[in-house]
Amino acid sequence: MTTATKTLATLPASVRKDHGKGAARALRRDGKIPGILYGKGQTPVSIALPLKEVSLEYARGRFRSRLINIKLDDGKTVQALPKDLQFHPVTDIIEHVDFIKVDASTKLNVMVPVKISGQEKSVGLKRGGVLNIVRHEIEFLCVPDAIPTHIEINVQALDIGSSVHINDITLPKGITPVIKRNFTVATIAGRRAEEEEVKPVAADATAAAGAAAPAAGAAAPAAGAAAPAAAGAAKKDDAKKPEGKK
Protein backbone atom coordinates (compact mmCIF):
# COMPACT_ATOMS: atom_id res chain seq x y z
CA MET A 1 0.00 0.00 0.00
CA THR A 2 1.71 3.19 -1.14
CA THR A 3 1.19 6.90 -1.64
CA ALA A 4 2.48 9.34 -4.26
CA THR A 5 3.30 13.02 -4.42
CA LYS A 6 3.77 15.25 -7.43
CA THR A 7 5.43 18.48 -8.54
CA LEU A 8 3.27 21.57 -8.10
CA ALA A 9 1.68 23.27 -11.07
CA THR A 10 2.41 26.96 -11.65
CA LEU A 11 -0.04 29.69 -12.63
CA PRO A 12 1.14 33.17 -13.66
CA ALA A 13 -0.70 36.07 -12.04
CA SER A 14 -0.54 39.82 -11.94
CA VAL A 15 -1.56 42.10 -9.09
CA ARG A 16 -4.57 44.20 -10.11
CA LYS A 17 -5.61 47.56 -8.71
CA ASP A 18 -8.92 48.01 -10.51
CA HIS A 19 -12.00 46.47 -8.92
CA GLY A 20 -15.69 46.19 -9.65
CA LYS A 21 -17.82 44.60 -12.36
CA GLY A 22 -16.50 46.84 -15.11
CA ALA A 23 -12.89 45.91 -14.37
CA ALA A 24 -13.81 42.23 -14.21
CA ARG A 25 -15.53 42.39 -17.60
CA ALA A 26 -12.48 44.09 -19.07
CA LEU A 27 -10.25 41.28 -17.76
CA ARG A 28 -12.48 38.60 -19.26
CA ARG A 29 -12.40 40.32 -22.65
CA ASP A 30 -8.60 39.99 -22.47
CA GLY A 31 -8.81 36.26 -21.70
CA LYS A 32 -8.19 36.67 -17.98
CA ILE A 33 -10.22 36.19 -14.81
CA PRO A 34 -10.10 38.02 -11.46
CA GLY A 35 -9.04 36.29 -8.29
CA ILE A 36 -8.13 36.97 -4.67
CA LEU A 37 -5.13 35.66 -2.76
CA TYR A 38 -5.90 35.34 0.95
CA GLY A 39 -3.33 34.94 3.72
CA LYS A 40 -3.75 34.41 7.45
CA GLY A 41 -3.38 37.76 9.17
CA GLN A 42 -2.60 39.45 5.82
CA THR A 43 -4.46 41.85 3.60
CA PRO A 44 -6.09 40.01 0.65
CA VAL A 45 -4.36 40.63 -2.68
CA SER A 46 -6.44 41.05 -5.86
CA ILE A 47 -4.90 39.20 -8.81
CA ALA A 48 -5.63 38.44 -12.44
CA LEU A 49 -4.96 35.02 -13.98
CA PRO A 50 -5.10 33.63 -17.54
CA LEU A 51 -8.43 31.84 -18.04
CA LYS A 52 -6.96 29.18 -20.36
CA GLU A 53 -4.32 28.02 -17.90
CA VAL A 54 -6.69 28.05 -14.93
CA SER A 55 -9.23 26.01 -16.94
CA LEU A 56 -6.58 23.44 -17.89
CA GLU A 57 -5.55 23.00 -14.27
CA TYR A 58 -9.18 22.68 -13.21
CA ALA A 59 -9.78 20.03 -15.90
CA ARG A 60 -6.99 17.90 -14.44
CA GLY A 61 -9.21 17.25 -11.43
CA ARG A 62 -8.83 17.71 -7.67
CA PHE A 63 -8.30 21.44 -8.22
CA ARG A 64 -9.34 22.30 -4.65
CA SER A 65 -7.05 19.63 -3.19
CA ARG A 66 -3.84 20.52 -5.04
CA LEU A 67 -1.29 23.12 -4.11
CA ILE A 68 -0.56 25.66 -6.86
CA ASN A 69 2.46 27.91 -7.26
CA ILE A 70 1.17 31.43 -7.97
CA LYS A 71 3.95 33.28 -9.82
CA LEU A 72 3.32 37.01 -9.42
CA ASP A 73 4.55 39.64 -11.87
CA ASP A 74 6.81 41.15 -9.21
CA GLY A 75 8.94 37.99 -9.26
CA LYS A 76 7.54 36.39 -6.10
CA THR A 77 6.12 32.87 -6.09
CA VAL A 78 3.48 31.97 -3.51
CA GLN A 79 2.19 28.50 -2.66
CA ALA A 80 -1.59 28.53 -2.43
CA LEU A 81 -4.56 26.18 -2.27
CA PRO A 82 -7.62 26.95 -4.43
CA LYS A 83 -10.50 27.75 -2.11
CA ASP A 84 -13.49 28.78 -4.20
CA LEU A 85 -14.47 29.12 -7.85
CA GLN A 86 -17.34 30.94 -9.54
CA PHE A 87 -18.74 29.84 -12.90
CA HIS A 88 -20.88 31.52 -15.53
CA PRO A 89 -24.47 30.28 -15.00
CA VAL A 90 -24.96 29.42 -18.68
CA THR A 91 -21.56 28.59 -20.18
CA ASP A 92 -19.94 27.10 -17.02
CA ILE A 93 -16.78 29.07 -17.80
CA ILE A 94 -14.70 29.95 -14.73
CA GLU A 95 -15.22 33.61 -13.86
CA HIS A 96 -13.45 34.02 -10.51
CA VAL A 97 -11.12 32.02 -8.27
CA ASP A 98 -9.91 32.49 -4.70
CA PHE A 99 -6.69 31.08 -3.23
CA ILE A 100 -5.38 30.68 0.32
CA LYS A 101 -1.65 31.19 0.90
CA VAL A 102 0.02 28.34 2.75
CA ASP A 103 3.39 27.75 4.35
CA ALA A 104 5.22 24.69 5.63
CA SER A 105 3.34 24.73 8.96
CA THR A 106 -0.18 25.20 7.56
CA LYS A 107 -2.56 22.29 8.25
CA LEU A 108 -4.92 21.55 5.36
CA ASN A 109 -7.97 19.35 4.90
CA VAL A 110 -7.75 17.65 1.52
CA MET A 111 -9.58 14.84 -0.27
CA VAL A 112 -7.18 12.31 -1.79
CA PRO A 113 -8.37 9.76 -4.39
CA VAL A 114 -7.84 6.01 -3.96
CA LYS A 115 -6.10 4.15 -6.79
CA ILE A 116 -6.44 0.36 -7.07
CA SER A 117 -3.71 -1.77 -8.67
CA GLY A 118 -3.04 -5.50 -9.10
CA GLN A 119 -6.56 -6.46 -10.25
CA GLU A 120 -5.24 -8.57 -13.17
CA LYS A 121 -3.31 -10.89 -10.82
CA SER A 122 -5.59 -10.70 -7.79
CA VAL A 123 -6.13 -14.07 -6.12
CA GLY A 124 -9.69 -13.26 -5.06
CA LEU A 125 -10.77 -11.76 -8.39
CA LYS A 126 -9.43 -14.78 -10.30
CA ARG A 127 -11.63 -17.00 -8.11
CA GLY A 128 -14.70 -14.98 -9.11
CA GLY A 129 -14.69 -12.38 -6.37
CA VAL A 130 -15.94 -8.84 -6.77
CA LEU A 131 -13.87 -5.75 -5.93
CA ASN A 132 -15.80 -3.31 -3.77
CA ILE A 133 -14.19 0.13 -3.34
CA VAL A 134 -15.79 1.45 -0.16
CA ARG A 135 -14.04 4.84 -0.30
CA HIS A 136 -13.01 6.36 -3.62
CA GLU A 137 -11.58 9.36 -1.74
CA ILE A 138 -10.15 9.76 1.75
CA GLU A 139 -10.03 13.03 3.68
CA PHE A 140 -6.69 13.83 5.30
CA LEU A 141 -5.29 16.56 7.51
CA CYS A 142 -1.77 17.31 6.33
CA VAL A 143 0.96 19.86 5.79
CA PRO A 144 1.38 21.25 2.25
CA ASP A 145 4.52 19.30 1.39
CA ALA A 146 2.87 15.99 2.32
CA ILE A 147 -0.24 16.20 0.12
CA PRO A 148 -0.25 12.98 -1.98
CA THR A 149 -1.70 12.80 -5.48
CA HIS A 150 -3.38 9.50 -4.59
CA ILE A 151 -3.41 6.58 -2.19
CA GLU A 152 -2.54 3.32 -3.98
CA ILE A 153 -3.87 -0.06 -2.84
CA ASN A 154 -2.52 -3.26 -4.39
CA VAL A 155 -5.10 -6.08 -4.24
CA GLN A 156 -2.94 -8.77 -5.88
CA ALA A 157 -2.57 -10.82 -2.68
CA LEU A 158 -6.15 -10.35 -1.47
CA ASP A 159 -8.49 -13.34 -1.48
CA ILE A 160 -12.29 -13.46 -1.29
CA GLY A 161 -13.40 -12.08 2.07
CA SER A 162 -10.29 -9.93 2.51
CA SER A 163 -10.45 -6.23 3.31
CA VAL A 164 -8.08 -3.27 3.29
CA HIS A 165 -8.40 -0.83 6.20
CA ILE A 166 -6.81 2.57 6.58
CA ASN A 167 -4.34 1.16 9.13
CA ASP A 168 -3.06 -1.25 6.46
CA ILE A 169 -1.84 1.68 4.35
CA THR A 170 1.59 3.17 4.93
CA LEU A 171 1.03 6.92 4.98
CA PRO A 172 3.76 9.54 4.52
CA LYS A 173 4.91 11.70 7.40
CA GLY A 174 2.72 14.72 8.00
CA ILE A 175 -0.57 13.18 6.82
CA THR A 176 -3.37 11.98 9.13
CA PRO A 177 -6.85 10.64 8.30
CA VAL A 178 -9.61 12.93 9.51
CA ILE A 179 -11.68 9.88 10.55
CA LYS A 180 -10.01 8.36 13.62
CA ARG A 181 -11.40 4.80 13.48
CA ASN A 182 -9.85 2.02 11.38
CA PHE A 183 -12.35 2.29 8.51
CA THR A 184 -12.57 -0.01 5.48
CA VAL A 185 -11.23 1.26 2.17
CA ALA A 186 -11.78 -1.75 -0.14
CA THR A 187 -12.92 -5.39 0.02
CA ILE A 188 -13.14 -8.46 -2.22
CA ALA A 189 -16.52 -10.16 -1.83
CA GLY A 190 -17.76 -13.47 -3.27
CA ARG A 191 -20.43 -13.83 -5.96
CA ARG A 192 -21.90 -17.09 -4.61
CA ALA A 193 -23.77 -15.49 -1.73
CA GLU A 194 -25.42 -13.00 -4.08
CA GLU A 195 -26.48 -15.77 -6.50
CA GLU A 196 -27.97 -17.89 -3.70
CA GLU A 197 -30.11 -14.97 -2.60
CA VAL A 198 -31.52 -14.51 -6.12
CA LYS A 199 -32.16 -18.19 -7.09
CA PRO A 200 -34.74 -19.09 -4.36
CA VAL A 201 -36.78 -16.04 -5.28
CA ALA A 202 -36.86 -17.08 -8.95
CA ALA A 203 -37.73 -20.71 -8.03
CA ASP A 204 -40.61 -19.63 -5.79
CA ALA A 205 -42.01 -17.43 -8.56
CA THR A 206 -41.87 -20.32 -11.07
CA ALA A 207 -43.57 -22.72 -8.66
CA ALA A 208 -46.31 -20.22 -7.90
CA ALA A 209 -46.98 -19.68 -11.61
CA GLY A 210 -47.19 -23.46 -12.19
CA ALA A 211 -49.64 -23.91 -9.35
CA ALA A 212 -51.85 -21.11 -10.58
CA ALA A 213 -52.25 -22.66 -14.05
CA PRO A 214 -53.80 -26.03 -12.89
CA ALA A 215 -56.07 -24.17 -10.52
CA ALA A 216 -57.43 -22.10 -13.38
CA GLY A 217 -57.82 -25.23 -15.52
CA ALA A 218 -59.74 -26.99 -12.75
CA ALA A 219 -62.16 -24.12 -12.45
CA ALA A 220 -63.13 -24.35 -16.12
CA PRO A 221 -64.31 -28.03 -16.04
CA ALA A 222 -66.29 -27.34 -12.87
CA ALA A 223 -68.13 -24.55 -14.64
CA GLY A 224 -68.77 -26.84 -17.64
CA ALA A 225 -70.21 -29.61 -15.43
CA ALA A 226 -72.63 -27.22 -13.77
CA ALA A 227 -74.40 -26.43 -17.07
CA PRO A 228 -75.60 -30.04 -17.85
CA ALA A 229 -76.75 -30.46 -14.25
CA ALA A 230 -78.91 -27.36 -14.47
CA ALA A 231 -80.42 -28.51 -17.80
CA GLY A 232 -81.37 -31.94 -16.34
CA ALA A 233 -83.11 -30.35 -13.41
CA ALA A 234 -85.20 -28.15 -15.73
CA LYS A 235 -86.40 -31.21 -17.73
CA LYS A 236 -87.57 -32.98 -14.52
CA ASP A 237 -89.67 -29.96 -13.51
CA ASP A 238 -91.39 -29.89 -16.92
CA ALA A 239 -92.30 -33.58 -16.64
CA LYS A 240 -94.07 -33.05 -13.26
CA LYS A 241 -96.34 -30.22 -14.55
CA PRO A 242 -99.98 -31.24 -15.61
CA GLU A 243 -100.88 -30.98 -19.29
CA GLY A 244 -102.26 -27.67 -20.38
CA LYS A 245 -100.37 -25.77 -17.75
CA LYS A 246 -97.21 -23.96 -18.39
pLDDT digits (tens, 9 = 90+) for 137-164: 999 998 887 888 889 999 999 999 999 9
Which pLDDT score is estimated for 105? 79
Which pLDDT score is estimated for 148? 85
Distance of CA 242 to the CA centre of its chain: 91
Tell the burial category of 66 from Cβ atoms under 10 Å away from its Cβ (0-12, 13-18, 19+).
middle
Is residue 107's pLDDT more than 50? yes
Question: Which comes out higher in pLDDT, residue 223 or 17?
Answer: 17
Is residue 222's pLDDT more than 80? no
Which pLDDT score is estimated for 171? 85
Which pLDDT score is estimated for 2? 46
User: What's the 3-state SS for 71-130?
Assistant: EECCCCEEEEEEEEEEECCCCCCEEEEEEEECCCCCCEEEEEEEEEECHHHCHHHHCCCE
pLDDT band at 3 (very low <50, low <70, confident <90, very high): very low
One-letter amino acid at 92 equals D
pLDDT band at 242 (very low <50, low <70, confident <90, very high): low
pTM: 0.59
Is residue 61's pLDDT more than 60? yes
Which pLDDT score is estimated for 210? 57
Grouping H, G, I as helix, E, B as strand and the rest as coil, residue 12 is strand
Instruction: Kindly tell me the sign of the dihedral angle through the C-alpha atoms of 90, 93, 96, 98.
Output: positive
Which pLDDT score is estimated for 5? 44
Question: Which comes out higher in pLDDT, residue 198 or 187?
Answer: 187
Question: Which comes out higher in pLDDT, residue 223 or 55?
Answer: 55
- Mean pLDDT score, 10-14: 94
Question: Of the given ranges (120-134, 184-198, 226-240), which has the lowest mean pLDDT?
Answer: 226-240
Question: Of the given ranges (6-10, 180-184, 198-202), which has the lowest mean pLDDT?
Answer: 198-202
Question: Which comes out higher in pLDDT, residue 37 or 199?
Answer: 37
Question: Which comes out higher in pLDDT, residue 213 or 13?
Answer: 13
Question: Which comes out higher in pLDDT, residue 67 or 235?
Answer: 67
pLDDT band at 183 (very low <50, low <70, confident <90, very high): very high
Distance of CA 50 to the CA centre of its chain: 31
